Amino acid sequence: MTLLFQKLSKKMMNNAEALLKNLSCELGLAYESQDWGIINADPKRLREFIQFYKTQYFCLSATQKFDLGELIMASANEAILEELITEETFTLFLQFIRKYRKELEYHLKYWSSLEDTEEFPIIQILAESVNKLNEVGRISKKRS
């Protein structure tokens, strides 16, 4: 590894760390360098996190969108697990997935790949939603 590459890698890591610290501060969450979204998941704040993502979308970096996506997925899973999700919030979550599916692609694949539906009840919901989204995509392509 060249010295220039090492310096660039370190600078990028420092930037990602700073962005995550900023996001933590904005949302009043603990800064954690690893598994930030899972550690800070809060089923009672799911709507707030979705609204923040939507209203700050153009101000967020790709890194922040990724981290916030993880937080929203983990919070939704917790809300379902603890039976705290209302029909209105559930609908908001599904609309969020549909609207930002490209940005959430990694998270959708990750959560859909998990197998323990007792610990991760979101799996079935995501599988159904992703299948519907894929079906809509195939129909749209056929019409074009």
Q: Give me the DSSP letters along 76-98.
A: HHHHHHTT---HHHHHHHHHHHH
Mean predicted confidence (pLDDT) in 89-110: 93
Contact assessment for residue 91 and residue 61, using Cβ atoms and an 8 Å cutoff: no
Q: What is the pLDDT of residues 57-77, one digit of tens each?
A: 999 999 999 999 999 999 999
Helices 62-81 and 87-99 pack at an angle, to 10 degrees, of 150
Cα 53 from Cα 40, distance rounded (Å): 15
Predicted local distance difference test score (pLDDT) of residue 8: 41
| Residue type present at position 9 | S
Predicted confidence band at 113 (pLDDT cuts at 50, 70, 90)? confident
Higher pLDDT, residue 12 or 36: 36
Contact assessment for residue 40 and residue 32, using Cβ atoms and an 8 Å cutoff: yes
Contact assessment for residue 104 and residue 95, using Cβ atoms and an 8 Å cutoff: no
Cα 114 from Cα 110, distance rounded (Å): 7
Predicted local distance difference test score (pLDDT) of residue 131: 66
Predicted confidence band at 133 (pLDDT cuts at 50, 70, 90)? low
Hey, where are the domains in the chain? 36-143
Predicted local distance difference test score (pLDDT) of residue 4: 44
Least Cα distance to 21 among 38, 33, 37, 9 occurs for 33
